[in-house]
Amino acid sequence: MGCSKWRAAFNFGHLRVQSKLSVFFTMIILFTYLFYCLNGYCDSLPRPVYDQQSNYHNKIVVNDGHETSARQPGAYNASQVSFVREQLSDFTNSDSPSNNISIANNFGSKKFPQAIIIGVKKGGTRALLEFLRIHPDVRAVGSEPHFFDRFYDKGLEWYRNLMPRTLDGQITMEKTPSYFITKEAPRRVFSMSRHTKLIVVVRDPVTRAVSDYTQTLSKSPGLPSFQNLAFRNTTTGLIDTSWSAVRIGIYAKHLENWLRFFPLSRLLFVSGERLVTDPAGEMGRVQDFLGLKRVVTDKHFYFNQTKGFPCLKKPEGSSRPRCLGKSKGRPHPQIPSEVLLRLRDFYRPFNLKFYQMTGHNFGWD
């Protein structure tokens, strides 16, 4: 009798230990799974059927350099796409670290950019891109890819993989201001897609040159003076066009290179000055050019007196408004007025030709 009681107690205790061990190991497996998923390692796991269909549906077909979607039976319909876009637009356009979670990245597909901001350096390209990223139908690369000027040998597939995923109806974009002055860039962009829309942010070339110099000076304090770099001979006033800060501002020369491959209708010229004084008006033109609904309006902006340019108003759920970084809006060094006048005289004929080519007077003279 005593042995029976002892045996029963042992069996019960053994079962209780087994139960605890099962729970313990189950919890370890769950926590491990959650840890790896939150760190983006779940992409290799089998995905739901609807996700496989969405990727198949959005598979890129390049025909004559133009991207199209391959629509297959069983793929999600337009109403489902709209619903997903509404649910994810704020999430996928934010700069928060949560964008790296793999479940969000599995929606849509990676495509070549339909629009590229190709220039110009210190013209306002970063501001334009940040303003555009408010739009729920715009998905853009944050950093500058420099594919068509520095990394072209890596191939188009490498370039496409840099792009964010987009849904049907969304536009993929990137910006690299040095494309505008790169001789090979127009042909290379055209080879990718002749349908690419090109945006050029331009600014008074004299002011732009000083801004360019200011940025370089902040990185290299021992830099020679602006006038020593701008002139080959300060006595004769001969301008040194080999200096990049001067060369970039000869917009007409660079535009001629692009017009050999793209019609003027494929290019939009954004005024860097108006992007500061009337950001909503200029953004309206940009959205129209891209075929987007005018979502970004004056309600999104306020003028920051300290920085001297517009900032985005505080988004919902954020504790502060969004302004460009400290590197933007630096105070310019004092440049002798006679130096600026000589430089303005140098640019005048190029500006007039640029006005004629674009059909727009930017008022720099």
Q: How many CB atoms lie within 10 A of CB 242?
A: 8
**Annotated binding residue 331:** yes
- Side-chain-side CA neighbours of residue 51 (13 Å): 11
- The span from the CA of 236 to the CA of 344, in Å, is 15
**Annotated binding residue 348:** no
Q: Which residues is 69 bridged to in the sheet?
A: 60
Task: Extract the tokens encoding 337.
Answer: 């007025």
- The span from the CA of 43 to the CA of 59, in Å, is 18
**Annotated binding residue 172:** no
**Annotated binding residue 123:** yes
Residue 130: partners with Cβ closer than 8 Å, 6 or more residues away: 312, 322, 324
**Annotated binding residue 247:** no
CA 265, 271, 275, 277 torsion-angle sign: negative
Nearest one of 141, 138, 169 to 69, comparing CA atoms: 169
**Annotated binding residue 89:** no
- Side-chain-side CA neighbours of residue 106 (13 Å): 18
**Annotated binding residue 322:** no
Active site residue 122: yes
Phi-psi group of 331: left, alpha or beta (phi > 0 → left; psi -120 to 50 → alpha; rest → beta): beta
Cα 244 from chain centroid (whole Å): 24
**Annotated binding residue 330:** yes
**Annotated binding residue 73:** no
Which residue in 110, 111, 121, 122 is the catalytic one?
A: 122
**Annotated binding residue 122:** yes
- The span from the CA of 187 to the CA of 183, in Å, is 8
Active site (catalytic) residues = 122
Q: Show binding-site residues.
A: 122-126, 203, 211, 328-332
Q: Show binding-site residues for 3'-phosphoadenylyl sulfate.
A: 122-126, 203, 211, 328-332
